[in-house]
C-alpha cells in the first residue's frame, strides 16, 4: 500500500503520527508503531499547521482581553514556537550555528549535530523571536487571527515542499529522512500547497498574492542556501525553515501598500 493510500485509508493514525511528531499535543490514536505511518503523515503536515494556528488564534482572542498588545504579541510568538516543543527552534539554532560558521560542508554538518548552542544560534533565536513578536504586534486586529493561522499552515507546508525539492544531506541518515520518499513527498507537497491555498482563500483572500509571493521567495532563498552549504536538507534545516516561514508570512500579512 502506498503512503497516499495509507493516508486515505488510515487518516486518524496518519494524522496522529504527524501531530505527535510536529507538536506537543497528544495523538488522536493510541501510540504504537507510528513509524509505519511517517510517510502518510506528510499528507497531514498542513492540517497540523491549521490546528496549531487555530489554537494560537484562540489564545490570541483571550490574551487581547487580558494583556496589552505588546505582551500579547510576545506571548503569541513564544506560543507558536513552544507548541512544537521548541523542536523547530532547536533546528533554527543548530542551522544557524552550522551555516554561519563558514566551514566546509562536512564540518558544518558536524556542528549542526552538536547539542550545545553557540553564539550564532543564540543570536539568531533571539533575533527571530523579536522579529516574530514585532510582526504579530504590527498586524491589524482584523488580520491577526488569519495571519496566525496562515503562518502556521505555511510553515508546515514549506517543510513538506522542501523535502521534495531537496536531497537529504546526511549519507548516514537521520531524523529528517523518516519522511522522505520520491513519490510520497511529491504528492504530499502538491496536496499541501493546494490545501494552503484553500486556507488562505477562505481566511485571508485579500492577502493571497502577498502570501504566495512570500512563501515562494522564502522557500527558494532558503533552499538555495541549503544546497550551497550542505547540498540538501536535514531535520534541523526543515525545522529552521518552518520558523523562518512563519515569520515571513506574518511580516507579509502586516504589509500595507
* DSSP string computed for 188-243: HHHHHHHHHHHHHHHH-GGGHHHHHHHHHHHHHHHHHHHHHHHSSB-HHHHHHHHH
Cell numbers representing residue 96 in the block: 544557524
Answer whether 0.85 is exceeded by the pTM.
yes
Cell numbers representing residue 18 in the block: 504527524
How confident is the model at residue 180, as a pLDDT?
59
d(CA 238, CA 162): 7
How confident is the model at residue 13, as a pLDDT?
86
How confident is the model at residue 130, as a pLDDT?
97
Main-chain dihedrals φ then ψ at residue 255, nearest 5 degrees: -65, 140
Cell numbers representing residue 23 in the block: 507538536
Q: Which segments of 67-181 does DSSP mark as H helices, in order?
A: 69-82, 87-99, 105-113, 119-138, 141-165
Residues contacting 124, CB < 8 A, separation 6+: 92, 93, 96, 100
Q: Which residues of the chain have pLDDT under 70?
A: 1-4, 27-36, 172-184, 256-257
Angle formed by the axes of helices 87-99 and 208-230, nearest 10°: 50
Amino acid at each position: 500500500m502506498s503512503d497516499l493510500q495509507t493516508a486515505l485509508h488510515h487518516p486518524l493514525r496518519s494524522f496522529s503520527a504527524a501531530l505527535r511528531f510536529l507538536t506537543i499535543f497528544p495523538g488522536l490514536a493510541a501510540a504504537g508503531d507510528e513509524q509505519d505511518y511517517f510517510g502518510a503523515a506528510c499528507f497531514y503536515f498542513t492540517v497540523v499547521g491549521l490546528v496549531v494556528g487555530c489554537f494560537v488564534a484562540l489564545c490570541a482572542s483571550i490574551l487581547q482581553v487580558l494583556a496589552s498588545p505588546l505582551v500579547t504579541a510576545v506571548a503569541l510568538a513564544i506560543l507558536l514556537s513552544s507548541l512544537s516543543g521548541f523542536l523547530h527552534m532547536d533546528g533554527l539554532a543548530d542551522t544557524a550555528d552550522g551555516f554561519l560558521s563558514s566551514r566546509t560542508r562536512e564540518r558544518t554538518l558536524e556542528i549542526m549535530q552538536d547539542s550545545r548552542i553557540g553564539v550564532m544560534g543564540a543570536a539568531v533565536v533571539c533575533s527571530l523571536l523579536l522579529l516574530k513578536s514585532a510582526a504579530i504586534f504590527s498586524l491589524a486586529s482584523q488580520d491577526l487571527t488569519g495571519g496566525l493561522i496562515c503562518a502556521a499552515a505555511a510553515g508546515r507546508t514549506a517543510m513538506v515542499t522542501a523535502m521534495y525539492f531537496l536531497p537529504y544531506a546526511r549519507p548516514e541518515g537521520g531524523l529528517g529522512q523518516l519522511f522522505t520518499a520520491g513519490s510520497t513527498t511529491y504528492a504530499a507537497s502538491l496536496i499541501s500547497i493546494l490545501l494552503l491555498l484553500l486556507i488562505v482563500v477562505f481566511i485571508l483572500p485579500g492577502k493571497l498574492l502577498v502570501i504566495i509571493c512570500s512563501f515562494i521567495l522564502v522557500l527558494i532563498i532558503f533552499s538555495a542556501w541549503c544546497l550551497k552549504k550542505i547540498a540538501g536538507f536535514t531535520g534541523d534545516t526543515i525545522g529552521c525553515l518552518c520558523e523562518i516561514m512563519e515569520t515571513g508570512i506574518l511580516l507579509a500579512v502586516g504589509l500595507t501598500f
